[in-house]
Amino acid sequence: MTPVDGLRSPESDSETRRREHAESTSDLLDLEAGRIGFPVLDGDGIRALLATKPRIGMIGASPDPTRPSHGVLLDLVGLGYDVVPVNPGADEVAGLRCYPTLREAVDATGPVVLVDVFRLPWACPPHAREAVEVGARCLWLQLGIASREAGRIAHDGGLDIVMNRCLAVEAMRP
């Protein structure tokens, strides 16, 4: 930011986006290099978790069939998972009742074990807090998404963490 009369000018939207993109790229690179700063589940840990067919709260589930979250939801339901869609802008996703918040979903339908997040990295920390608050066991950030802040929140809350992996792809592995 450039100084204006001894004060700092507010960050522009484009500056904010560039900063957020740089942070998320750095988080992805650090995740892949094993220096994200907290443990993440490896392939064996993921297989063990998914073998229990955990109940899933899907944040960012979309009613739009062209969106990845819609397809992943359908795949998971087809594989026998119980998935509860969460999206404040939808009442229903793929024929399932959709809830505006994870808290409302859990209050209405019961606990979830895994919270699958389809949001951009900078939107993930509040969802990590929600996952901790509802007593989930795992925070899962979808393929292409890593958030150091969300991971720290989840780790400090005792949750397992998965980042930069597609839940449907992992669920289909033998």
Q: Which residues of 44-82 are buried (b: 16+ CB within 10 A; e: fewer)?
A: eebeebbeeebbbbbbbbbbeeeebbbebbbbbeeeebb
Query: Which one has a higher pLDDT value, 26 or 8?
Result: 26
Report pLDDT digits (tens) over 101-117. Answer: 999 999 999 999 999 99
The mean of the pLDDT values for the chain is 93
pLDDT surpassing 50 at residue 85: yes
> What does the pLDDT average to over 91-101?
97
The C-alpha R_g of the chain, in whole angstroms, comes to 17
Report pLDDT digits (tens) over 123-161. Answer: 999 999 999 999 999 999 999 999 999 999 999 999 999
CA–CA dist 172, 174 (Å, integer): 6
Residue partners of 67: CB distance under 8 A and separation at least 6: none
pLDDT surpassing 60 at residue 76: yes
**Which uninterrupted H or E stretch holds 51?**
helix 43-51
Query: What pTM was computed for the model?
Result: 0.88
**Which uninterrupted H or E stretch holds 45?**
helix 43-51
pLDDT surpassing 70 at residue 53: yes
Which pLDDT does position 3 carry in this prediction? 46
| Residues across the chain | 174
Report helix angle 124-133 to 102-109, nearest 10.
30
Report pLDDT digits (tens) over 11-44. Answer: 667 887 888 888 889 998 999 999 999 999 999 9
String of DSSP letters for 59-95: ET--S-TTSHHHHHHHHHHHTT--EEEE-TT-SEETT
